[in-house]
Amino acid sequence: MISSMVETATGGAKTMVLNMGPQHPSTHGVLRILLELDGENVVRAIPDMGYLHTGIEKSCEDKTYSQAITLTDRIDYLNPLGNNLAYCLAVEKLLGLEIPKRAQYIRVMMVELQRISSHLVWLGTHAIDLGAMSVFLYCFREREEILKIFEFVAGQRMMTSYIRIGGLALDLPAGWRQRVEKFLKMMPGRIDEYEELLTGNRIWMGRTKDVGYISAEDAVALSMTGPTLRAAGLAYDNRRVFPYSSYPEFEFDVPTRTDSDCFGRYMIRIAEMRESLKIIRQAMGKITADGPFRTEAPGIIPPDREKMKTEMEALIYHFKIFTEGFSPAPGEAFATIESPRGELGVFVASDGSPKPLRVHFRGPSFINLQALPKLIEGKLLADVIACIGTIDIVLGEVDR
């Protein structure tokens, strides 16, 4: 179909075909869009992806349940902790595991930090696409602080693999509270700074207001989720609607708007960052100094290092877990979380062997991108860039 479009469209009277990407900076990766243009107006848009397809779902089938966690980091590389969480929730559902409250609160705190860092990357790159260079530098300055916290806690800045089946990889290190506290003190003022630069800025409003409108009915019909759906007026947030990890114990708002354009989505994400700060503050109050950071399930969760030195059983379990893995009962589980981009779902099917029969990721970027032609067809070429940015795609997740 793509090749036929290239052949025929130029033969037509008025339109031309413009090949945007896959190496275009504003596509945030390797997305190719075939645009049929009539002057400056987009007549038809055909997204073409797969340039980053690495077969992660196939690779997961060849790993044990625990080994596959490292692959989940690499799907949506701006939200590795969220991917870890979604995958672990699915496997835990399959196993029927209960997670200690303390581990759940730590998970919430880390995932909300991740949400802020992801929104910061989005804001910075979206602004740079539309010509606002300085916001990018400020956003990455604050993101760096979050990545430093991740490095301090998990030992890795991006590919953390920190959330594991049954809990966490490690307990929080001494001194984490001061670091997160320092970040929480700094951040609200910094968000005000971004808003000062952008929210009332006439150029910013001109580039984003009334650009990329989609109605709530169309957004739901096209399976859109996340900030794009909430900007259309539907308060669909998995943290509220299908709660996980003790989210009902936290107080936060789900911001919605009705304008459903690029500006509305920008305002939603800014508001979400502020809500995430509230959640992190509450989670810090709930995390006790001592307590378990993972559940106890012999044969599934690796035993304590100390126990292994004194107990024969623990040593045997440790050996079995890391050589053979564990075998959940045959069945299927689908777990969803609210990732910064929308509903991130993980479907895991087990056939009773130590390796998953099937792992599938419902990537919100992939599904939200489907609405791109709806947003841009009939609009100006310059708005295409604003629309790609506003969907907030991560090509690693689109192509998997």
Cβ proximity of 60 and 78 under 8 Å: no
Instruction: Please state, in angstroms and rounded to a whole number, the distance separating the CA atoms of residues 92 and 167.
Output: 10
Q: How far is the CB of 351 from another protein (least distance, A)?
A: 8
Instruction: Please state, in angstroms and rounded to a whole number, the distance separating the CA atoms of residues 125 and 133.
Output: 9
What separation in angstroms does the CA of 38 have from each of 45, 55, 180, 328, 381?
12, 37, 52, 56, 10
Give residue for tokens 């910094």: 190
Q: Which is nearer to another protein, 223 or 327 (CB)?
A: 223
Q: How far is the CB of 389 from another protein (least distance, A)?
A: 20
Instruction: Please state, in angstroms and rounded to a whole number, the distance separating the CA atoms of residues 96 and 329.
Output: 10
Cβ proximity of 119 and 87 under 8 Å: no
Q: How far is the CB of 343 from another protein (least distance, A)?
A: 6
Q: How far is the CB of 126 from another protein (least distance, A)?
A: 23
The residues of the shown chain that bind another protein, judged by CB under 8 A, are 1-2, 49-50, 53, 55, 57-59, 61-62, 93-94, 96, 220-225, 234, 236, 241-243, 331-334, 336, 343, 345, 347, 349, 351, 357-358, 360, 362, 366-367, 369-370, 399-400
H or E segment and range at residue 236: none
Type of residue numbered 26:
S
- Write the burial class of residue 343 (CB in 10 Å: 0-12 exposed, 13-18 middle, 19+ buried): buried
- Tell me the torsion sign for CA atoms 130, 133, 137, 138: negative
Cβ proximity of 97 and 178 under 8 Å: no
Q: Which is nearer to another protein, 345 or 389 (CB)?
A: 345
Q: Which is nearer to another protein, 303 or 356 (CB)?
A: 356
Q: Which is nearer to another protein, 123 or 344 (CB)?
A: 344
Q: Which is nearer to another protein, 137 or 357 (CB)?
A: 357
Q: Which is nearer to another protein, 268 or 371 (CB)?
A: 371
Q: Which is nearer to another protein, 163 or 333 (CB)?
A: 333
Q: Which is nearer to another protein, 336 or 390 (CB)?
A: 336
| Joined tokens for residue 397 | 């997740």
DSSP state of 14: S
| Joined tokens for residue 116 | 């802020």
DSSP state of 72: H
